[in-house]
Amino acid sequence: MSLEFQEYHTRKILNVHKHVDGPWFWGKYTAYPYVGCRSGCEFCYCRGNRYLGRRDPETFDSLIGVKVNAVERLQGEIFGLEPEIISVGDWQQPAEDKYKLSRGMLEVVLQIGFPLFIVERSPLLARDLDLLVEINKKSWVGVLFSISNLDPTLKRAFEPRSPGVKRRLGAMAKLAEAGIYVGTSMMPILPFVGDDERHLDELIRATKDHGGSCVLAGGLTMDGVQAERTLEAAKGFDPALEDHFRKLYRWPIDGKPQYGPPRVYNARIGLVVRELCEKHDLLDRMPRYVAPGLLEVNKRLAEGLFLKTYDLELEQAKDFRIWAYRKAAWTVDELGESILDIYNARGEAGLQELSNIGVGIASAITKWLERYVHEKH
Protein backbone atom coordinates (compact mmCIF):
# COMPACT_ATOMS: atom_id res chain seq x y z
CA MET A 1 0.00 0.00 0.00
CA SER A 2 1.33 3.42 -0.96
CA LEU A 3 2.13 6.03 1.67
CA GLU A 4 2.05 9.74 0.97
CA PHE A 5 2.59 12.70 3.21
CA GLN A 6 0.66 15.88 2.69
CA GLU A 7 2.48 18.75 4.34
CA TYR A 8 0.61 21.85 5.39
CA HIS A 9 0.75 24.71 7.85
CA THR A 10 -1.89 24.58 10.51
CA ARG A 11 -3.39 27.73 11.97
CA LYS A 12 -3.98 26.04 15.31
CA ILE A 13 -2.55 22.94 16.99
CA LEU A 14 -3.84 23.07 20.55
CA ASN A 15 -7.42 22.18 21.39
CA VAL A 16 -8.39 23.76 24.68
CA HIS A 17 -11.35 21.81 25.99
CA LYS A 18 -14.06 23.37 28.05
CA HIS A 19 -13.72 20.73 30.77
CA VAL A 20 -11.10 18.10 31.65
CA ASP A 21 -12.08 14.63 30.45
CA GLY A 22 -12.55 13.09 33.88
CA PRO A 23 -12.84 10.32 34.89
CA TRP A 24 -10.82 9.10 31.88
CA PHE A 25 -7.54 10.74 30.82
CA TRP A 26 -7.89 14.02 32.76
CA GLY A 27 -6.68 16.07 29.79
CA LYS A 28 -7.60 19.72 29.39
CA TYR A 29 -5.63 20.14 26.18
CA THR A 30 -5.08 17.91 23.15
CA ALA A 31 -2.71 18.35 20.21
CA TYR A 32 -2.09 16.15 17.15
CA PRO A 33 0.70 16.75 14.62
CA TYR A 34 -0.52 14.15 12.08
CA VAL A 35 -3.92 13.48 10.52
CA GLY A 36 -4.50 9.87 9.50
CA CYS A 37 -2.61 6.83 10.73
CA ARG A 38 -0.50 4.28 8.91
CA SER A 39 -1.62 1.43 11.17
CA GLY A 40 -5.11 1.71 9.71
CA CYS A 41 -6.95 -0.32 12.35
CA GLU A 42 -10.40 -1.19 11.06
CA PHE A 43 -12.14 -0.11 14.28
CA CYS A 44 -10.26 3.17 14.65
CA TYR A 45 -12.68 5.89 15.70
CA CYS A 46 -10.55 8.46 13.87
CA ARG A 47 -11.87 6.98 10.63
CA GLY A 48 -15.31 8.14 11.70
CA ASN A 49 -17.06 11.04 9.99
CA ARG A 50 -16.77 13.26 13.01
CA TYR A 51 -12.93 13.17 12.95
CA LEU A 52 -11.91 13.15 9.30
CA GLY A 53 -14.33 15.85 8.20
CA ARG A 54 -14.50 16.21 4.44
CA ARG A 55 -11.45 14.06 3.77
CA ASP A 56 -11.93 10.80 1.84
CA PRO A 57 -12.00 8.22 4.67
CA GLU A 58 -10.42 5.61 2.40
CA THR A 59 -7.15 7.60 2.46
CA PHE A 60 -6.96 7.43 6.26
CA ASP A 61 -3.91 5.12 6.25
CA SER A 62 -2.29 5.99 2.90
CA LEU A 63 -2.28 9.79 3.04
CA ILE A 64 -0.98 11.30 6.24
CA GLY A 65 -1.54 14.99 6.83
CA VAL A 66 1.54 16.55 8.39
CA LYS A 67 1.24 19.83 10.28
CA VAL A 68 4.79 20.91 9.61
CA ASN A 69 4.59 23.93 11.92
CA ALA A 70 3.11 21.89 14.82
CA VAL A 71 6.03 22.54 17.17
CA GLU A 72 6.13 26.31 16.63
CA ARG A 73 2.35 26.54 16.91
CA LEU A 74 2.37 24.61 20.19
CA GLN A 75 5.08 26.88 21.53
CA GLY A 76 3.07 29.95 20.58
CA GLU A 77 -0.30 28.73 21.82
CA ILE A 78 0.55 27.19 25.13
CA PHE A 79 2.33 29.96 26.97
CA GLY A 80 0.10 31.70 29.48
CA LEU A 81 -2.35 28.80 29.81
CA GLU A 82 -3.12 26.99 33.07
CA PRO A 83 -0.65 24.13 33.59
CA GLU A 84 -3.16 21.30 33.10
CA ILE A 85 -2.61 17.90 31.47
CA ILE A 86 -1.90 17.82 27.74
CA SER A 87 -3.36 14.65 26.35
CA VAL A 88 -2.00 13.20 23.11
CA GLY A 89 -2.30 9.87 21.39
CA ASP A 90 -1.34 7.60 18.52
CA TRP A 91 1.19 10.05 17.15
CA GLN A 92 4.16 7.69 16.92
CA GLN A 93 3.96 6.45 13.34
CA PRO A 94 6.18 6.32 10.21
CA ALA A 95 5.66 10.04 9.59
CA GLU A 96 7.49 10.63 12.87
CA ASP A 97 10.69 9.06 11.45
CA LYS A 98 10.76 11.78 8.85
CA TYR A 99 9.34 14.82 10.62
CA LYS A 100 10.05 14.29 14.36
CA LEU A 101 7.10 16.51 15.25
CA SER A 102 6.00 14.43 18.24
CA ARG A 103 9.50 14.70 19.66
CA GLY A 104 9.57 18.42 19.02
CA MET A 105 6.25 18.79 20.81
CA LEU A 106 7.56 16.79 23.78
CA GLU A 107 10.45 19.24 23.98
CA VAL A 108 7.95 22.10 24.24
CA VAL A 109 6.02 20.29 26.96
CA LEU A 110 9.26 19.80 28.88
CA GLN A 111 10.22 23.42 28.47
CA ILE A 112 6.92 24.72 29.87
CA GLY A 113 6.68 22.03 32.58
CA PHE A 114 3.13 20.90 31.85
CA PRO A 115 2.00 17.37 32.83
CA LEU A 116 1.54 15.00 29.92
CA PHE A 117 -0.72 12.06 29.19
CA ILE A 118 -0.20 9.75 26.21
CA VAL A 119 -2.41 6.97 24.90
CA GLU A 120 -0.45 5.07 22.30
CA ARG A 121 -0.60 1.88 20.25
CA SER A 122 3.03 2.07 19.18
CA PRO A 123 6.12 0.91 21.08
CA LEU A 124 8.07 3.58 19.16
CA LEU A 125 7.14 5.84 22.02
CA ALA A 126 9.99 4.26 24.00
CA ARG A 127 12.54 5.98 21.79
CA ASP A 128 11.51 9.26 23.40
CA LEU A 129 12.03 7.83 26.86
CA ASP A 130 14.77 10.37 27.62
CA LEU A 131 12.32 13.25 27.21
CA LEU A 132 9.51 11.44 29.00
CA VAL A 133 11.76 10.89 32.01
CA GLU A 134 12.68 14.59 32.06
CA ILE A 135 9.03 15.69 31.81
CA ASN A 136 8.16 13.23 34.56
CA LYS A 137 10.83 14.74 36.81
CA LYS A 138 9.56 18.25 36.19
CA SER A 139 5.82 17.51 36.45
CA TRP A 140 4.22 14.16 35.51
CA VAL A 141 3.82 11.70 32.64
CA GLY A 142 1.18 9.00 32.36
CA VAL A 143 1.11 6.53 29.45
CA LEU A 144 -1.59 4.02 28.60
CA PHE A 145 -0.82 1.56 25.84
CA SER A 146 -3.84 0.81 23.68
CA ILE A 147 -4.38 -2.93 23.59
CA SER A 148 -7.75 -4.49 22.89
CA ASN A 149 -6.76 -8.07 23.72
CA LEU A 150 -3.82 -10.47 23.38
CA ASP A 151 -5.46 -12.76 20.83
CA PRO A 152 -3.38 -12.92 17.60
CA THR A 153 -6.37 -14.06 15.51
CA LEU A 154 -8.34 -10.97 16.57
CA LYS A 155 -5.36 -8.71 15.88
CA ARG A 156 -5.05 -10.13 12.36
CA ALA A 157 -8.72 -9.55 11.69
CA PHE A 158 -9.21 -6.09 13.19
CA GLU A 159 -5.81 -4.37 13.30
CA PRO A 160 -3.48 -6.29 10.97
CA ARG A 161 -0.93 -3.49 10.57
CA SER A 162 -0.73 -2.14 14.09
CA PRO A 163 2.50 -2.86 16.03
CA GLY A 164 2.74 -6.25 17.77
CA VAL A 165 1.10 -6.51 21.14
CA LYS A 166 4.18 -8.05 22.76
CA ARG A 167 6.24 -5.06 21.62
CA ARG A 168 3.70 -2.71 23.17
CA LEU A 169 3.91 -4.61 26.46
CA GLY A 170 7.71 -4.52 26.21
CA ALA A 171 7.58 -0.74 25.88
CA MET A 172 5.22 -0.58 28.83
CA ALA A 173 7.72 -2.47 30.99
CA LYS A 174 10.55 -0.21 29.85
CA LEU A 175 8.64 2.94 30.75
CA ALA A 176 7.57 1.46 34.09
CA GLU A 177 11.21 0.70 34.91
CA ALA A 178 12.01 4.35 34.22
CA GLY A 179 9.43 5.38 36.83
CA ILE A 180 6.65 6.45 34.48
CA TYR A 181 3.04 5.73 35.37
CA VAL A 182 1.82 3.15 32.84
CA GLY A 183 -1.19 0.98 32.19
CA THR A 184 -3.50 -0.29 29.47
CA SER A 185 -6.24 1.45 27.59
CA MET A 186 -8.35 -1.61 26.79
CA MET A 187 -10.19 0.11 23.97
CA PRO A 188 -12.03 -0.85 22.02
CA ILE A 189 -13.15 -4.07 23.66
CA LEU A 190 -14.49 -6.14 20.78
CA PRO A 191 -17.99 -7.40 21.48
CA PHE A 192 -18.71 -11.14 21.27
CA VAL A 193 -15.11 -12.08 20.44
CA GLY A 194 -12.91 -10.17 22.88
CA ASP A 195 -15.21 -9.30 25.79
CA ASP A 196 -15.31 -12.62 27.66
CA GLU A 197 -13.63 -13.08 31.00
CA ARG A 198 -10.74 -15.11 29.57
CA HIS A 199 -9.71 -12.38 27.10
CA LEU A 200 -10.13 -9.62 29.67
CA ASP A 201 -8.27 -11.48 32.40
CA GLU A 202 -5.35 -12.34 30.11
CA LEU A 203 -4.72 -8.70 29.27
CA ILE A 204 -5.22 -7.40 32.79
CA ARG A 205 -2.73 -9.98 34.09
CA ALA A 206 -0.23 -9.04 31.35
CA THR A 207 -0.58 -5.37 32.30
CA LYS A 208 0.31 -6.23 35.88
CA ASP A 209 3.25 -8.38 34.72
CA HIS A 210 4.65 -5.49 32.67
CA GLY A 211 4.62 -2.89 35.42
CA GLY A 212 1.19 -1.39 34.68
CA SER A 213 -0.90 0.20 37.43
CA CYS A 214 -4.33 0.51 35.82
CA VAL A 215 -6.58 -0.74 33.03
CA LEU A 216 -9.27 1.46 31.53
CA ALA A 217 -11.98 -0.38 29.61
CA GLY A 218 -14.00 1.13 26.80
CA GLY A 219 -16.48 -0.31 24.33
CA LEU A 220 -16.41 -0.19 20.55
CA THR A 221 -18.09 2.82 18.98
CA MET A 222 -19.57 2.73 15.48
CA ASP A 223 -19.57 5.69 13.13
CA GLY A 224 -19.87 5.99 9.34
CA VAL A 225 -17.12 4.33 7.31
CA GLN A 226 -15.44 3.04 10.47
CA ALA A 227 -18.64 1.12 11.35
CA GLU A 228 -18.82 -0.44 7.88
CA ARG A 229 -15.19 -1.49 7.97
CA THR A 230 -15.45 -2.91 11.47
CA LEU A 231 -18.48 -4.94 10.46
CA GLU A 232 -16.62 -6.25 7.40
CA ALA A 233 -13.68 -7.26 9.60
CA ALA A 234 -16.05 -8.98 12.02
CA LYS A 235 -17.74 -10.87 9.17
CA GLY A 236 -14.33 -11.89 7.85
CA PHE A 237 -13.53 -13.30 11.26
CA ASP A 238 -16.85 -15.09 11.62
CA PRO A 239 -19.86 -14.49 9.33
CA ALA A 240 -22.24 -15.17 12.23
CA LEU A 241 -21.01 -11.96 13.90
CA GLU A 242 -22.94 -9.72 11.51
CA ASP A 243 -26.21 -10.59 13.13
CA HIS A 244 -24.86 -10.11 16.65
CA PHE A 245 -23.30 -6.74 15.79
CA ARG A 246 -26.50 -5.52 14.14
CA LYS A 247 -28.52 -6.45 17.21
CA LEU A 248 -26.09 -4.89 19.69
CA TYR A 249 -25.86 -1.62 17.77
CA ARG A 250 -29.54 -1.67 16.70
CA TRP A 251 -28.33 -1.43 13.15
CA PRO A 252 -30.88 -2.13 10.39
CA ILE A 253 -29.54 -3.41 7.03
CA ASP A 254 -30.35 -0.10 5.29
CA GLY A 255 -29.74 2.21 8.23
CA LYS A 256 -27.11 3.47 10.62
CA PRO A 257 -25.85 1.85 13.83
CA GLN A 258 -26.18 3.40 17.28
CA TYR A 259 -22.91 5.10 18.19
CA GLY A 260 -22.21 2.89 21.20
CA PRO A 261 -23.46 -0.35 22.72
CA PRO A 262 -26.33 -0.08 25.23
CA ARG A 263 -25.54 1.10 28.76
CA VAL A 264 -26.30 -2.28 30.21
CA TYR A 265 -23.55 -3.82 28.07
CA ASN A 266 -20.98 -1.16 29.05
CA ALA A 267 -21.88 -1.51 32.72
CA ARG A 268 -21.54 -5.29 32.63
CA ILE A 269 -18.09 -5.11 31.02
CA GLY A 270 -17.02 -2.31 33.38
CA LEU A 271 -17.96 -4.39 36.41
CA VAL A 272 -16.13 -7.49 35.16
CA VAL A 273 -13.02 -5.38 34.47
CA ARG A 274 -13.28 -3.81 37.93
CA GLU A 275 -13.43 -7.23 39.54
CA LEU A 276 -10.49 -8.55 37.50
CA CYS A 277 -8.44 -5.45 38.28
CA GLU A 278 -9.08 -5.99 41.97
CA LYS A 279 -7.96 -9.59 41.60
CA HIS A 280 -4.67 -8.46 40.02
CA ASP A 281 -4.25 -5.50 42.35
CA LEU A 282 -4.72 -2.87 39.65
CA LEU A 283 -7.00 0.15 39.36
CA ASP A 284 -9.77 0.44 36.77
CA ARG A 285 -9.36 4.25 36.68
CA MET A 286 -6.20 6.29 36.24
CA PRO A 287 -5.51 8.51 39.27
CA ARG A 288 -5.42 12.18 38.35
CA TYR A 289 -2.15 14.06 38.55
CA VAL A 290 -2.67 17.21 40.59
CA ALA A 291 0.03 19.83 41.03
CA PRO A 292 0.53 21.15 44.56
CA GLY A 293 -0.91 24.60 45.22
CA LEU A 294 -3.90 26.57 46.43
CA LEU A 295 -6.37 24.87 44.08
CA GLU A 296 -5.08 21.35 44.74
CA VAL A 297 -8.04 20.67 47.01
CA ASN A 298 -10.51 21.63 44.23
CA LYS A 299 -8.82 19.34 41.71
CA ARG A 300 -8.73 16.41 44.15
CA LEU A 301 -12.37 16.90 45.08
CA ALA A 302 -13.35 17.20 41.41
CA GLU A 303 -11.53 13.93 40.78
CA GLY A 304 -13.68 12.27 43.43
CA LEU A 305 -16.86 13.69 41.90
CA PHE A 306 -15.85 12.53 38.41
CA LEU A 307 -15.07 9.06 39.76
CA LYS A 308 -18.52 8.99 41.31
CA THR A 309 -20.04 9.47 37.82
CA TYR A 310 -18.22 6.32 36.68
CA ASP A 311 -19.48 4.34 39.68
CA LEU A 312 -22.99 5.52 38.87
CA GLU A 313 -22.56 4.46 35.22
CA LEU A 314 -21.62 0.98 36.42
CA GLU A 315 -24.70 0.96 38.65
CA GLN A 316 -26.77 2.11 35.65
CA ALA A 317 -28.10 4.96 37.77
CA LYS A 318 -30.55 7.44 36.31
CA ASP A 319 -29.03 9.96 33.91
CA PHE A 320 -30.02 12.95 36.03
CA ARG A 321 -27.95 11.64 38.97
CA ILE A 322 -24.90 11.11 36.80
CA TRP A 323 -25.29 14.57 35.29
CA ALA A 324 -25.65 16.14 38.74
CA TYR A 325 -22.24 14.80 39.79
CA ARG A 326 -20.65 15.61 36.42
CA LYS A 327 -21.79 19.23 36.56
CA ALA A 328 -20.73 19.54 40.19
CA ALA A 329 -17.30 18.19 39.21
CA TRP A 330 -17.02 20.84 36.49
CA THR A 331 -17.97 23.60 38.92
CA VAL A 332 -15.44 22.53 41.54
CA ASP A 333 -12.70 21.87 38.99
CA GLU A 334 -13.06 25.27 37.39
CA LEU A 335 -13.47 27.39 40.54
CA GLY A 336 -10.96 30.22 40.76
CA GLU A 337 -10.79 30.10 44.58
CA SER A 338 -10.23 27.30 47.07
CA ILE A 339 -13.43 25.44 47.90
CA LEU A 340 -12.00 24.84 51.35
CA ASP A 341 -11.79 28.62 51.92
CA ILE A 342 -15.43 28.95 50.84
CA TYR A 343 -16.46 26.20 53.23
CA ASN A 344 -14.41 27.61 56.09
CA ALA A 345 -15.93 31.07 55.58
CA ARG A 346 -19.58 30.20 54.92
CA GLY A 347 -20.06 26.51 55.72
CA GLU A 348 -22.32 24.19 53.76
CA ALA A 349 -24.57 27.13 52.85
CA GLY A 350 -21.59 28.67 51.03
CA LEU A 351 -21.18 25.48 48.98
CA GLN A 352 -24.85 25.56 48.02
CA GLU A 353 -24.42 29.04 46.59
CA LEU A 354 -22.12 27.61 43.91
CA SER A 355 -23.72 26.71 40.60
CA ASN A 356 -24.59 23.02 40.12
CA ILE A 357 -24.15 22.23 43.84
CA GLY A 358 -27.47 21.19 45.37
CA VAL A 359 -28.23 20.17 48.95
CA GLY A 360 -27.26 16.49 48.54
CA ILE A 361 -23.95 17.10 46.80
CA ALA A 362 -23.09 19.99 49.19
CA SER A 363 -23.50 17.57 52.07
CA ALA A 364 -21.29 14.96 50.34
CA ILE A 365 -18.65 17.65 49.67
CA THR A 366 -18.74 18.74 53.32
CA LYS A 367 -17.96 15.20 54.46
CA TRP A 368 -15.20 14.94 51.87
CA LEU A 369 -13.61 18.26 52.95
CA GLU A 370 -13.69 17.31 56.61
CA ARG A 371 -11.97 14.02 55.83
CA TYR A 372 -9.43 15.84 53.64
CA VAL A 373 -8.53 18.32 56.38
CA HIS A 374 -8.29 15.51 58.93
CA GLU A 375 -5.96 13.47 56.73
CA LYS A 376 -3.76 16.50 55.98
CA HIS A 377 -3.08 17.11 59.69
Binding site for ligand SF4 (CB under 6 A): 37, 39-41, 44, 46, 90, 121, 162
SS3 track for the chain: CCCEEEEECCCCCEEECCCCCCCCCCCCEEECCEECCCCCCCCCHHHCHHHHCCCCHHHCCCEEEEECCHHHHHHHHHCCCCCCCEEEECCCCHHHHHHCHHHHHHHHHHHHCCCEEEEECCHHHHHHHHHHHHHHHHCCEEEEEECCCCCHHHHHHHCCCCCCHHHHHHHHHHHHHCCCEEEEEEEEECCCCCCCHHHHHHHHHHHHHCCCCEEEEEECCCCHHHHHHHHHHHHHHCCCHHHHHHHHCCCCCCCCCCCCCCHHHHHHHHHHHHHHHHHCCCECCCCCCCCCCCCHHHHHHHHHHHHHHHHHHHCCCCHHHHHHHHHHHHHHHCCCCCHHHHHHHHHHHHHHCCCCCCHHHHHHHHHHHHHHHHHHC
Q: Which is nearer to ligand SF4, 168 or 308 (CB)?
A: 168
Q: Which is nearer to ligand SF4, 93 or 331 (CB)?
A: 93
Q: Which is nearer to ligand SF4, 189 or 305 (CB)?
A: 189
- The CB-of-56 to ligand SF4 minimum distance in angstroms stands at 16
- The CB-of-36 to ligand SF4 minimum distance in angstroms stands at 8
- The CB-of-107 to ligand SF4 minimum distance in angstroms stands at 22
- The CB-of-38 to ligand SF4 minimum distance in angstroms stands at 7
Q: Which is nearer to ligand SF4, 44 or 116 (CB)?
A: 44
Q: Which is nearer to ligand SF4, 41 or 144 (CB)?
A: 41
- The CB-of-372 to ligand SF4 minimum distance in angstroms stands at 38
- The CB-of-338 to ligand SF4 minimum distance in angstroms stands at 39
- The CB-of-92 to ligand SF4 minimum distance in angstroms stands at 9
Q: Which is nearer to ligand SF4, 40 or 170 (CB)?
A: 40
Q: Which is nearer to ligand SF4, 44 or 361 (CB)?
A: 44
